Amino acid sequence: MKKNISFYLNLFSLILLNSFLILTSSCSSPTEPPDDKKTKWEVIPELAEADVRYILKYNNTIYLTAVLGANWRGIIWKSNDGENWEMIRTFEKAVGPLAINGDSLFCLGDSLFKYTISTDTWENVCQPYPLNTDVQAVSEMFFLDNELFAFQNFFQPGTVYKINFDGTVDDLSNQYGYVGASKMIKKNINDNWGYVRGMYHSGGFFKFDINGFVYLINGLELQVILKPASNSMEIRNDTLFAGFRYPGIIKYLDESNVWRNYTDSIPTTRLDASSPYIEPTEISCVGERMFVSTDIFGVMEWKKGIGWIDMAEGLKTYDWSNGKVFYPVVFLENINNVLIAAYGAPGYAAWGGKGVYKYKVK
């Protein structure tokens, strides 16, 4: 009898021990995936040396202009998925901004070039002097009411030009009270107005149409107005989101044209590196998820209730930074759940750097 009691006690103890081990295992934190399983940024081989000057997304296609080599020969690539890229045109000289009108893509280089997408044909439209002599100085090009405009902000004080297809260029400096514009974003590609950034490190925020500039500064402090970021704008659900250098924050423009905070400030100390401020350089939204590129910490994702999540691994770093300080990401776009981060020197953000990287959003 005693032998049976001892047997059952031992069996019961063994069952309790196994239950404890199972419970402990189920409550422990999940382990980090090994490094070779983590999602990282990967360089796109054919674009590894591209000095990117402009990116435009239209009808589920990304068009990218860049210069290559010591002679700054221009090139245009396109992609429908962010993974595969097709070269659609090379040029003898540098190229800059792109614009869409109807079914045609316009590119500014030493001439104004027109690419009819449906027929895959090119046309040399005109040579708009002086814009064609220094493409680097032209930061943006866009159509309003079928007329082509351009911002030149590389040199002070900046100018708005209208490009005529006979090659003449109208300087609109005397027509508009403010001319130092850098970057424009429309809610819809065919809109006859858009939101405009002021010139880098000075200016403000505006709504622009053929009648001129209207300030959009309600809700912004003076320091923010005078020091806007260069390119960080995105339209999501018909709402404009924009990044501001001080205090390194994303704001949105409400229905009353008042700026409201959307995120917390980006921490100035991350990844064992620090800076007096962090500048959001571009915004890209995949559904309701928001990704933000910066001038020092690569790319981050904003998650409500959690905060800023680092996702810079694999991007370009400075040699002296020990992998902690990243090159400024000038462009951030997405297509087919693939993020595209690119380096370059467009007229509105001439930070430099070369290369285009991709990141698969899970």
Sign for the pseudo-dihedral over CA of 287, 290, 295, 298: negative
Comparing C-alpha atoms, which of 272, 226, 261, 219 is closest to residue 245? 226
111 domain residue, yes or no: yes
Q: What's the pLDDT score for residue 202?
A: 60
242 or 12, higher pLDDT: 242
In this prediction the pTM is 0.87
Confidence of residue 18 (pLDDT cuts 50, 70, 90): very low
166 domain residue, yes or no: yes
Number of domains comprising the chain: 1
129 domain residue, yes or no: yes
6 domain residue, yes or no: no
Sign for the pseudo-dihedral over CA of 350, 331, 251, 318: negative
33 domain residue, yes or no: no
The parent domain of residue 271 ranges over 39-360
Residue pLDDT, tens place only, 78-96: 999 999 999 999 999 999 9
Confidence of residue 2 (pLDDT cuts 50, 70, 90): very low
Look at residue 36 and tell me whether its pLDDT is greater than 70. no
Tokens of 3: 């032998």
Cα separation of 357 and 44, whole Å? Answer: 5
1 domain residue, yes or no: no
Q: What CATH number did the domain enclosing 160 receive?
A: 2.130.10.10
Give 18-75 as a 3 state SS string: HHHHHHHHHHCCCCCCCHHHCCCCEECHHHCCCEEEEEEEECCEEEEEEEECCCCEEE
Residue 5: helix, strand or coil by DSSP? helix
> What count of Cα atoms within 13 Å lies in the side-chain half-sphere of residue 133?
4
285 domain residue, yes or no: yes
Look at residue 162 and tell me whether its pLDDT is greater than 90. yes
Comparing C-alpha atoms, which of 91, 90, 109 is closest to residue 99? 109
Q: What's the pLDDT score for residue 275?
A: 79
9 domain residue, yes or no: no
Look at residue 320 and tell me whether its pLDDT is greater than 80. no
* Residue 28 CA: distances (Å) to CA of 22, 31, 182, 278, 323: 10, 9, 52, 36, 31
Helices (H), the chain: 2-27, 222-226
Comparing C-alpha atoms, which of 101, 146, 141, 147 is closest to residue 123? 101
Category of 272 on φ-ψ map: left (φ > 0), alpha (ψ -120 to 50) or beta: left
Residue pLDDT, tens place only, 267-290: 988 766 777 888 899 999 999 999
